[in-house]
Each structure stands twice: as structure tokens, then as C-alpha cells.
Amino acid sequence: MDLIAQSEREGSLHSAIRGALANDFRVFFAAHPSLQSILFNGAAAEAMFLRQVPASAVPAGVCRVRLPSTSPANRAPSTEQKRTPGAAHCSMQASSSAPKRRYSRHMPPAPRALPVLPYRKPTEGRDYWLVDDVLPDPDSVRERALARTDWALGWPHREESWPGMRIMPGLEADELAGLEVRVKALTGAARLGVQASPDGTTLNHNCIQLVGEDEGEVRPHTDSRALCRYAAVLYLNPSTPADCGTSFFRQRLSSGQLGGNSVMPPHNNLVEAFGTRFVSPGSFSHDVAIPARYNRLLLYRANLIHSASRYCGRTLETKRMTAVFFWMT
């Protein structure tokens, strides 16, 4: 069955896929409780699954196995490669007592209306703040980043849910301290802290991200209220086009009317507020666009729906470079 229900693509390359929307696997898993294994037709299919389907949606005990791709662009695997222990142990099948089923190409979406979120028009000075020329020497920050060789690789370089490349820390201690003085003054916060991630993973605070035009897509989301109250993006490429900034979004309801744009307690993120990670195409409407500008800091309330407006570039020097920050107050 197909992982992707809808997307745009010119040609046949996986790297050309844009605006991918996964089938609703929660519905599929619920309809097939005897499922034992998921087999992927190559690394690209597995990586897309990891990006689109949250781990919490996969039932406990279901085995995930990556098989050699059947694409003619790939060399045929040898007999020994086909006899891997994983492939021998896991197969895409139901239990022997379950009847065989024919799966449709596209699963019907669950007939469920999403909750309508609260709306407040993003307003500068209240919901977001812009500080131009925020760093005294942004060139040094950029040059340090480009000279580093310890970048962590995301999609499509490795099978990760996040795009492009990352390095930490982005700013040195004195640079970060100066930035936080500005953030406190703008928000009125008495102190800023970095919250520990509950699962023990590293929170990507003070992290430089480098994402090219073929590596990322517009993905409206909110940052977790459990981890931060304010987030910020610092644009670090002088050649980045203005339309590669950051956009705020609001809901577009099935009726065509516009809904809200913010996650409020008791929910911590958009997935909790909606009760699902799977939304239909066109569920978000563009609301406010913030242009990219070299050495500009965009500080915003983390519960607002937002996304990178666009990614650009194909080389280290031309890709969209930003530093991101997440503060709890």
C-alpha cells in the first residue's frame, strides 16, 4: 500500500516530492489489529514514514524492516543480502488465523472534524518581535558554522524526521548572553531557562540549522508549551531571499471558514490540541509572513502555528541558515 496519499512531484525522483501527506495509519492500524510487521521498499520509504507517522501511532510489537528498493536505479541485492535475519524474521502479514485482505491504494480519511482553536491576529510587539542587526558580528557566527565539520545530518542525508543539517552550539556564551538581554527586555521575562526534554533527548536550543530547497517543506506546527514559552529564529545568510523567512498560519476549516492559530492549556502542542497528527490538505491558511533578513531575530510566542516560509539553496553557502532558540520563562 502507498505511504503517501497525496503529494506534488515533477519526475520520478523521491527527492522531488513536495507537500507530502501520509495516509492515516492510525485508521489502518486500528482496522488491522493482527498486523505484525511493516516492510519498506527501500530507505527513502522508511525515512518518509519516520517523518510523517509519529512513533506513538505504531502499535507495540509491530516490527519495522527496511528491504532493498525495487527501483531500477538500485543494484539488485545478492542472494545473501536477501537472507538478512530481519527479513527472515519479519514479514508484512497478518496472523495465520486472519483472513487475507486486499488493501486499497488510498485509505479513506477518518470522518472526524478537527477542534477549532482560539484565534488572535499575530501582532508585532505583543505576539512577536523583530530585532534587526541583533548581533554585533554575525559574520563571525556564520564563518564559524561554515568551517565546522561536525554537522549532524537529517533528511535526506540520513533517515531522520528533521531536514538538512544541524550543529550546536550556534552562538558562543557571550553572544547568547547579549541576545538574551534583548529577549528579556522585549518580553518582560525576569529570567530565561532551557527546559530539559522529558524523554532525555537534546533540546535543539542555540542550534544552527542549514536546509536547502530540496531538503525541507512548509510544515505548520507549534513548539511544545511543555518545553518553551518563547521561541526565536535568527537569520544567518545574507543571500537568503526575503520570502525564505517565517510564516504564521491559522486553521482553514472544511467549510472554508478560517479557524484559530494558537494552542492553549491543557494542550502542549498542535497534535494534542487536534487529537491527531493527520490533517487533510489545505487545513492551514497563511496569515502573516515575516521576511528573512540577515542578522534579524524573530522572537515569537511558541504556541502560535508557524513554519519556515520556504527553503532555498543547494550549497553550504546558499542554503537557508538560521539559529533557533527555545526559552521557558
Q: 37-50 pLDDT, tens per residue?
A: 788 777 777 777 77
Same domain flag for 73 and 197:
no
pLDDT value of position 58: 78
61 vs 25, 138, 269, CA distance in Å? 16, 49, 27
What is the per-residue pLDDT for 238?
Answer: 96
Q: Are 278 and 214 contacting, i.e. CB atoms less than 8 angstroms apart?
A: no
Neighbours of 73 (CB within 10 A): 9
254-300 pLDDT, tens digit each:
888 999 999 999 999 998 999 887 787 789 999 999 999 999 999 99
Answer with the one of 89, 115, 140 that is the final residue of a domain. Answer: 89
Banded model confidence at residue 175, pLDDT cuts 50, 70, 90? very high
**Please, are residues 278 and 270 in contact by the beta-carbon 8 Å criterion?**
no
Pick the closest to residue 316 from 259, 239, 260, 227 (CA basis).
239
Q: Provide the pLDDT for residue 37.
A: 78
Residue 109 has pLDDT above 90, yes or no: no
Q: Are residues 144 and 288 in the same domain?
A: yes
- Same domain, yes or no, for 137 and 62? no
Computed on alpha carbons and rounded to an integer, the radius of gyration of the chain in Å comes to 22
> What pLDDT is recorded for position 190?
93
CA separation for the pair 103, 109 (Å, rounded): 14
Examine the pLDDT at 199 and tell me if it is beyond 70.
no
CA distance 241 to 46: 32
Buried b (16+ CB within 10 A) or exposed e, 227-250: bbbbbbbbbbbeebeeebbbbbbb
- Does the pLDDT of residue 235 top 90, yes or no? yes
Contacts with 303 (C-beta within 8 Å, 6 or more apart), sequence order: 222, 223, 225, 262, 263, 264
Q: Is the CB of residue 222 less than 8 Å from the CB of residue 269?
A: yes
pLDDT for residue 312: 95
**Residue type for position 115:** P
More confidently predicted of 113 and 168: 168
How do strand 296-301 and strand 230-235 relate by DSSP bridges? antiparallel
Domain that holds residue 171: 128-327
- How does residue 232 score in pLDDT terms, banded at 50, 70 and 90? very high
Segment 240-250 shows an average pLDDT of 96
pLDDT value of position 202: 60
Buried b (16+ CB within 10 A) or exposed e, 181-220: eebeebbebeebeeeeeeeeeebbbbbbbbbbebbbbeeb
- Are residues 81 and 137 part of one domain? no
| 51 and 154 fall within a common domain | no
| Confidence tier at 112 by pLDDT (50, 70, 90) | low
Count structural domains, the chain.
2
Report if residue 322 sits inside a domain.
Answer: yes
Determine the 3-state secondary structure of 129 from DSSP: strand
The pLDDT of residue 179 is above 80 = yes
Cβ neighbours, 10 Å, residue 226: 13
Do 133 and 84 belong to one domain? Answer: no
**12: Cβ–Cβ under 8 A, 6 or more apart, which residues?**
none
Does some domain include residue 74? yes
Grid cell for residue 38: 511493516
Residue 68 lies in a domain: yes
Alpha-carbon gap, residue 315 to 310, rounded angstroms = 16
**Partners of residue 18 on adjacent β-strands:** 8
Q: Once rounded to an integer, what is the mean pLDDT over residues 87-96?
A: 33
